[in-house]
Structure 1
Amino acid sequence: MSISAPPTGVRADATGFSLHAADGTAYRVELTTDLFTPGNPLLRDHLAGRQVVAFVGPTVNRLYGERIRTYLRAQLPPGSWTVHMVRTGERFKTIASVERIGALAKADGLDRHGVMLAVGGGVLCDLVGFAAATYARGVRYAKVNTTLVGQVDVGVGIKTGVNAFGSKNMLGAYHPAYASINDPTFLRTLPDREIRCGLGEIVKMAVIRDRALFETLVAHPDTFRPPSGPDGGSEGVEDYVLRAAMESMLHELCPNLREENLARLVDFGHTFGPVIETASDYRVAHGESVAIDMALSSQLARLLGLLSEADCDRITDLLLRLGLPVHDAATCTPDLMWQALRGAWERRGRRLHLVVPTGIGSATFVDDLDDLPAGVLDEALVALAAAARAGRPRRLVVA
């Protein structure tokens, strides 16, 4: 009797999402609250019976380190787990950090049945995930995503990587997490800048495929932040925004999980953005670079006749209203932005695949460098500089 394979696609339920790709890859992203309280068995159930080497960054260690250790002490046998603090941030997202993680795991005697556990933001999860993908040719890893960027982006995909050779994420591997857990209660301790960066990744998904999510952000720009006036967020709105962004990302990833097709809508905001980040020496954070890239790509779409001026203005204005930048004078130069286009063209198999919106909730590709007329990039940058100088956005109206 043959056993049929589970259907491919993404399935949502009350506690998270399950993804089954056509290549047989399957994994789950789970939602919970108060993960490290004694009464929550979710993480224990994933780790039980295995040796665990856990890694946290300095901020997570300061805010939650003792709670994490208390939880592991109560839930796992003595001697079966360790916790290490590693430095995070883009400057430490290097192969040297991966080697240190591997060395710590080896010193703890981690075997091939064990688990590397990451509790932190996107950089930490990328580091630990890459280390797990290469340690003993691959061991399980679990990630508890503590930032908004981590929960809507890194936490739902299978890519891991480090910066190298002057480029972001130049070295890496596809390595699905054994467990990926999102707990929105971690977001309460995030600084406002990190919330803004996460909102940048959420705007990305709203623009390319989810108009309802876009309109929700317009109506509730203070989502995930303390309410301020009638536009303040609410728990119900935050739950909707988080789940909608996660589900949209999973649906986009599922048919092309390992990127055999290099034309990907989820690369919206990720053509100019990496160059802006590296050229600024990471003064511009990831979510901020994504916002600038989205604004620039939207201006290009407008100038190419692919996006109406009204929708272009709405995208730019929403980014500004969320507190995100749409221009950076030091890096948004014609020379650097052209270098970004050329670099993307080389990485993507001599095709540009620049993602540009065609409306709120839809997008397409500009596939070749020749599709960008001379001067259009300069004109788009001038328009963005003017929008940045204007500062405050116009009052946005829900469509």
Structure 2
Amino acid sequence: MLVPDNPLLAEYCEGRQAVVFLGPTVGRLYGAQVRRYLTAHLAPGSWTVVAVEGGEAQKTMESVERICAEAKAAGLDRRGVMIAVGGGVTCDMVGFAAAVYCRGVRYIKVNTTLVGQVDVGVGVKTGVNALGTKNMLGSYHPAHASINDPRFLRSLPARQIRCGLGEIAKMAIIKDAQLFRVLEEYPEVFQRPCPVPSWLTTGDSGGRDVEDYVLRTSMALMMEELCPNLREHDLARLVDFGHTFGPVIETAGNYRIAHGESVAIDMAISSELARVLGLISAEECERTVSLISRLGLPVYDPGTCTPGLMQRALQASWERRGRRLHLVVPDGIGSAVFLDDLEDIPPAALEEALDALAVRRGGLPGPLAVTH
């Protein structure tokens, strides 16, 4: 995407003044390439490149204010455009800054992580962590463009790939049994070469490899769910699977557990709850939790997966979602339903689900240190 003969990003700038914000890793790996691209395609003096700090701990209003200050120092006016090149944290912060700077300016997302390409890059939400709560402050501010280039994924560490696979597994578990089976067959997709199955060489899928199929299918499923309800007027959302217990796991763990990992743990808890409540069979639950583990993701964290804390997570979600729980749980492979009331989940059922996962404890290789 950043090669000199690709005009895509420049065309979306439409000759406007641009301030480009790079996350720390992106700046180190691609900063020189970004500057060469801008030099080749944009008018001299019309662009500025700024480094921003990364990580959930930096996803704050103070960081958004610094981004706005950098934009002002660069002389960005109301016709200008902010460009975020990085992962989900960078895109969330720059998107929120664009939403409030001069009451709203354009922004473009160049998504460099797997989570960014299949999740953050698809939606219109921006936000920061505040008041002890993940993404407490934010806005709905659609990007002028959201650009994905799979070549960025080649430079990602394994942990970030696994986190992205957590978001992909989310869509497979709740919406697409075929994608689920593909992940079962190729759990190391994006991490090592996968042989191309015969069904991908014929019909509508002809000429695609496993990575392309997984990437495009998960993005399409996400858009299918988000587009009719972009601004969340309906708070019952299937894409919130993995996002009820997960936010509390992240904040209570002081972000030592990455977002994709918290989603994975949440999905495992929700799946075990579905089994305990008789919504899925023991075999379907085992397939689901085993898939999460085979993707290299955790299904339990002893420091945060306590009955008391997980009950508080349910209460917090009930309050945030308008006094309705809307907990998404699978009722089969590729299908899900909502549990809408706190009374739908007896404390004993939650404890049984947590106990089942404590026995397996798969996926966490010792103390975690979040990488970005």
Q: TM bucket by the smaller chain?
A: over 0.9
Among 95, 120, 137, the residue aligned to 1:129: 95
Residue equivalent to 2:183: 217
**Is structure 2 residue 357 aligned with structure 1 residue 384?**
yes
Residue equivalent to 1:324: 297
Among 287, 293, 307, the residue aligned to 2:260: 287
Query: Normalising by the residue count of structure 2, what TM-score does the alignment of the two structures yield?
Result: 0.93
Query: What one-letter code is carried by the residue in structure 1 that aligns with 2:104?
Result: G
Residue equivalent to 1:23: none
In 2, the alpha carbon distance for the partners of 1:347 and 1:390 equals: 30
1:1-399 aligned within 5 A? 35-227=1-193, 236-388=209-361
Q: CA deviation at 1:45?
A: 0.7
> Does the CA-based 8 Å contact 2:293-2:363 persist in structure 1?
no
In 1, the alpha carbon distance for the partners of 2:12 and 2:229 equals: 27
In 1, the alpha carbon distance for the partners of 2:208 and 2:69 equals: 42
Deviation sequence 1:134-192 (CA, Å, 0-9, x none): 00000000010000000000000000000000000000000000010000000000000
> Does the CA-based 8 Å contact 2:244-2:313 persist in structure 1?
yes
> Does the CA-based 8 Å contact 2:326-2:341 persist in structure 1?
yes
Q: CA deviation at 1:285?
A: 0.4
In 2, the alpha carbon distance for the partners of 1:304 and 1:114 equals: 53
Query: What one-letter code is carried by the residue in structure 2 that aligns with 1:219?
Result: E
Instruction: Provide the secondary structure at the position in 1 that maps to 2:76.
Output: coil
Q: Compared with structure 1, are the counterparts of its residues 80 and 150 closer, same or farther at alpha carbon in structure 2 (3 Å cutoff)?
A: same
Structure 1 runs of 4+ off > 4 angstroms? 228-231, 389-392
Q: Compared with structure 1, are the counterparts of its residues 328 and 102 closer, same or farther at alpha carbon in structure 2 (3 Å cutoff)?
A: same
In 2, the alpha carbon distance for the partners of 1:257 and 1:240 equals: 25
In 1, the alpha carbon distance for the partners of 2:52 and 2:194 equals: 36
> Does the CA-based 8 Å contact 1:320-1:391 persist in structure 2?
no
Query: What one-letter code is carried by the residue in structure 1 that aligns with 2:219?
Result: M
Give ranges in structure 2 of 5+ residues lacking alignment.
Answer: 198-206, 366-372
Q: CA deviation at 1:222?
A: 1.1
Instruction: Provide the secondary structure at the position in 2 that maps to 1:293.
Output: helix
Deviation sequence 1:199-246 (CA, Å, 0-9, x none): 000000001111111111111111101238999xx9710000000000
In 2, the alpha carbon distance for the partners of 1:360 and 1:384 equals: 19
In 2, the alpha carbon distance for the partners of 1:220 and 1:145 equals: 24
Q: CA deviation at 1:386?
A: 1.0
Q: Compared with structure 1, are the counterparts of its residues 165 and 154 closer, same or farther at alpha carbon in structure 2 (3 Å cutoff)?
A: same
Query: Normalising by the residue count of structure 1, what TM-score does the alignment of the two structures yield?
Result: 0.87
Residue equivalent to 1:19: none
More helix by share: 2
Instruction: Provide the secondary structure at the position in 1 that maps to 2:297.
Output: coil
Instruction: Provide the secondary structure at the position in 2 that maps to 1:144.
Output: strand
Task: Report the RMSD for the aligned CA atoms in angstroms.
Answer: 1.8
Deviation sequence 1:84-137 (CA, Å, 0-9, x none): 001010000000000000000001110111100000000000000000000000
Give ranges in structure 1 of 5+ residues lacking alignment.
Answer: 1-34, 393-399
In 1, the alpha carbon distance for the partners of 2:121 and 2:23 equals: 16
In 1, the alpha carbon distance for the partners of 2:114 and 2:277 equals: 33
